[in-house]
Amino acid sequence: MSGPASLYPPITPYASGLLETDGVHRIYWETSGNPAGIPVLFVHGGPGAGTSANQRRFFDPARYRIVLFDQRGCGRSTPHGELADNTTPHLIADMEALRDELDVASWLVFGGSWGSTLALAYAQAHPERCRGLVLRGIFLCRPQEIDWFLYGIRSFFPEAQRQLAEFIPEDERDDLLVAYHRRLVDPDPAVHRPAAWQWATFEASCSTLLPSAELVAAFGSERTALSLSRIEAHYFVNGIFLPDDSLLANVARIRHIPALIVQGRYDAVCPITSADDLARAWPEAHYQVVPDAGHSAFEPGIARALVAACDRFAATGALI
């Protein structure tokens, strides 16, 4: 995607590599911008979406050392679509291993959607490693949020939700998550590929305030669709491998960290109620509602807010 005008110009990484783990996974990482700049870790969404070149552009390359990584099983990490040893604690451990690999003492952590989930979980596990948190499109992975994503979203996107549901035989539609998960983990491409395309294009169709054929096409590509849908379903059926409601319950661990919450008013994928709940539990965080935006980080108003916040942090060390 080309990205809104508020983003910095495209840049290329000056270093990249594959981080080894104790198991089969190898984690792709890259660094761009200023090698002596403020370290910032971009935490992508999904889970399973992977990173893209435009995600480097939220940060001033003269002032930031920009770190992107593909979480287990997606993007340029290998093996693609792998679910073994793919849990939230594993991802947190990967982030810490990458920090150590890159010799970073602490960094600004930036994440949206599932990236906000993982950023919160990482910060609560390692608060001393976080200079600040920039969070967008808050997702706390509570049962009501997953139910909204698969069913309640029809209040705004009935056509997309109907297509998602009607792909599944009628006698299985009372539990779309289980029905899709069963198909997505099936080793037969004739079973998992069409299910992956349905799930991924449904999510893309609901992610922007105005329709984006470009985003639907990107999510619907065979590689992205498989990792996004399979890994999302894997995490959702397992309650993201964390205790129920733990992200809100443990906010006290991170209330001292400078933080910004940016939320699109009309975010249908991660509705504003979750951001509101987080902001109420964390009054020290600055909470900014973008009045004319949906879910995507590349919505013009959201992109402007995120870039402005990172510019502010680089200049002052504060997010407000």
Active site residue 234: no
Residues 6+ apart with CB under 8 A from 22: none
Active site residue 205: no
Question: Scanning the structure block, which residue is given the tokens 């983990």?
Answer: 185
Alpha-carbon gap, residue 64 to 41, rounded angstroms: 10
Alpha-helix runs per DSSP H in 174-295: 176-184, 189-205, 213-220, 222-237, 246-249, 272-281
Instruction: Specify the long-range contacts of residues 297-300, CB closer than 8 Å, at least 24 apart.
Output: 297/55, 297/58, 297/112, 297/113, 297/136, 297/137, 298/1, 298/3, 298/4, 298/54, 299/4, 299/208, 299/209, 299/264, 300/4, 300/5, 300/6
Active site residue 276: no
**Which of 173, 159, 134, 169 shows the shortest CA–CA distance to 268?**
159
Please identify which of the residues 25, 90, 234, 295 carries the catalytic annotation.
295
Please identify which of the residues 32, 229, 267, 274 carries the catalytic annotation.
267
Please identify which of the residues 32, 77, 113, 207 carries the catalytic annotation.
113
**Which of 151, 191, 143 shows the shortest CA–CA distance to 173?**
151
Q: Which residues are catalytic?
A: 113, 267, 295
